[in-house]
Amino acid sequence: MQPFTLEFGRFRLELGGSQTCIMGILNATPDSFSDGGKFNTFDTAVRQGLKLVEDGAHILDIGGESSRPFAAPVSEQQELDRVIPVIEALSKQIDIPISIDTVKSGVAKEALNAGAAIINDISAFEKDPAMADLAAQKNVPVVLMHMKGTPETMQVNPGYDDLMLEITTYLSLRADYAMQKGVQKHHIILDPGIGFGKTVAHNLVLINHLEKITALGFPVLMGPSRKSFIQNILSQKEMTPVGADSIKTECGTLAAVAASILNGAHIVRVHDVEKVTAFTHIIDSIRNA
C-alpha cells in the first residue's frame, strides 16, 4: 500500500502506514439511512462525537444533510443550523480533525470557520463550483467522491459500460480539476462512492478491484458502513429481512471494511468506531506482517 502523509494546520495524518485511518460518522440529521434522528439534537450530537473520538476515530465527519438514496436536499440554513453549533462545541473539546460532509460551499465555509479542517464533498465539486475555490483558499484537505446522479436519483437503475474505467476516469478528472483550481495534490483524497449510484454487483466489483483506484496515486477512502448492499446480500442469503442496525449488518460491514483495507483503502468511514478500531488492529497486523 502506498503511504501518504497528510499535513494541514495543526494536524498530521499518516495514511497507509501501520494503522488504517478511521473516520467516524456523525449524522446531525433526522433522516439518514442508518442513524437518522439519533443525534439530531445539539446535546446528543456532541455526546456521540465525543464517544466516537474516545472509541478511536482519527477523523470526525459531521453532516447535516442526508445522502441516503432518494433523500431530498435541505436548505443551506437548515444545514448550518444542524452542524455549526456541534462543530463549534466539539472543535474545542477534541484533538482530531473534523470533516464537514456537505456539497454547499456556504456550509463548508462556516464549518471551517467554526473549527472543521477537511471538506468531504460527495459531488466532487460539481454541485457547487465555489467549493473548489474555497478549498484552495483555505488550504484544507478534500474528499472527492464518485456518484452517478444525485441522492434523489442515484439508485434508479444505475448502469455502466465499464464500471472501473468510468469511476477511475471520473475521479482522475475531478482531482485534476481540483488541482487546476489551486487545491494541493497532497490534500486530495478519493472516494469511489460505495452505494452511490451502484448496484450490489457494482459495489462488490468496486471493492474487489480497488487497486485500480489506488493506482491513481491518491489516498483512498471507503465508506461501506451499514450500506444497503450488505443488507441485501444478507437478506437474500438468510431469506429474512436484515436491517441497517442488525448485528448481522455490523458483521457484514466488518467484512467489507477488511476487504477494502486489504485491497488498499487508506481511510474507512464507519458508524461503529469502537468495533472497527479493534477489528482494524487485527487486519492491519495481518496486512503489515
Contact call for residues 221 and 143 (beta carbons, < 8 A): yes
- Is 227 designated active site? yes
Q: What percent of the chain has pLDDT over 90?
A: 85
Residue 268 pLDDT > 70 = yes
pLDDT of residue 40: 64
- Give the count of beta carbons closer than 10 Å to the beta carbon of residue 260: 26
Q: What distance, in Å, lies between the first and last C-alpha atoms of the chain?
A: 13
pLDDT of residue 226: 94
**Domains of the chain as residue ranges with CATH:** 4-287 (3.20.20.20)
pLDDT tens digits, 208-224:
999 999 999 999 999 99
CA 161 centroid distance within chain:
25
pLDDT of residue 51: 97
pLDDT tens digits, 151-187:
666 566 788 999 999 999 999 999 999 999 999 999 9
pLDDT tens digits, 72-91:
788 999 999 999 999 999 99
Pairing mode, strands 142-145 and 267-270: unpaired
pLDDT of residue 278: 96
Residue 32 pLDDT > 50 = no
pTM assigned to the model: 0.93
Catalytic site residue from 174, 198, 226, 269:
269
- Is 269 designated active site? yes
Confidence of residue 39 (pLDDT cuts 50, 70, 90): low
- Give the count of beta carbons closer than 10 Å to the beta carbon of residue 200: 16
Catalytic site residue from 109, 227, 248, 287:
227
| Per-chain mean pLDDT for the chain | 93
Contact call for residues 45 and 243 (beta carbons, < 8 A): no
Residue 16 pLDDT > 50 = yes
